[in-house]
Homo-oligomer: A and B are copies of this chain.
Amino acid sequence: MPDGTMRPTALRAPYHHGGLEAALIAAARAIAERDGPDGVSLRAVARAAGVSQAAPYHHFADKDALLAAVAAEGFRELRAALLARAEAAGGDPFERLRALAAGYVGFARARPALFRLMETPAFQRAGAYRALDAARQKSYLPLADAVAECLPGASRAKRVNACAAVWSLAHGMAILASDGRLGGLVDLSDLDKATDALIRQLNIAAAPGA
């Protein structure tokens, strides 16, 4: 193509992208899942979306804001995955709790790069990204609810403690499993079962199966 500057209008990409914001989020996520969170450069994202390097700044304040949007999408998907598992688990609260924990760990294991991005400490700072905060908060609720239902008569302190224990255990497992570091201790090929075994070690409810 000898004439680069005057390509026929029909073949040239339209000046206005149309859905650039969504395209940037998708491209950033794809790159993050391929090369890890640190492999994401704003310029590469822009290239992948077919726009100039400065175009993203019309949709995101800076690079962190774009990554925060990706993370928020991740939390929404995490929430959806948790709700689906809870639904499938049926009515027993402890059963549901174990399903939620397994879902949490499984999500991290299935999308390690995305999970790592969601855990990036730059975005933890509450108040910095409101949409992210909201999505994160909402993603944690199913777990807290299930814990509360497991301990109907307990004091608030007891419930809070149990909630912290479950969350910490699931979070720790999620991180260790997503990095493959739990491999020497538990069978990562059947992560649901492994999570079950660990959650059962918590004094949350009388574990029926044993």
Contacts and interface: CB of A to CB of B under 8 A. Distances in A.
Nearest to A204: B201
Interface string A26-43: 000000000010100000
A124 interface: yes
A197 B171 CA distance: 17
A176 B175 CA distance: 11
A203 B206 CA distance: 12
A138 to B, nearest CB: 15
B164 A182 contact: yes
Given A172-B171, A185-B167, A197 B161 contact: yes
Contact of A168 (B119, B164, B182): B182
Interface string A157-199: 0001111110111111111100111100110000000100110
A121 interface: yes
* Overall SS of chain A's interface: helix
A194 B161 CA distance: 8
A116 interface: yes
Contacts of A116: 121
B179 A160 contact: no
A26 to B, nearest CB: 23
A127 to B, nearest CB: 13
B169 A165 contact: yes
A208 to B, nearest CB: 15
A185 B140 CA distance: 13
A122 interface: yes
Given A161-B185, A168-B176, 11 more contacts: A36-B122, A161-B186, A161-B198, A162-B201, A163-B185, A165-B198, A167-B176, A168-B182, A171-B176, A172-B172, A172-B175
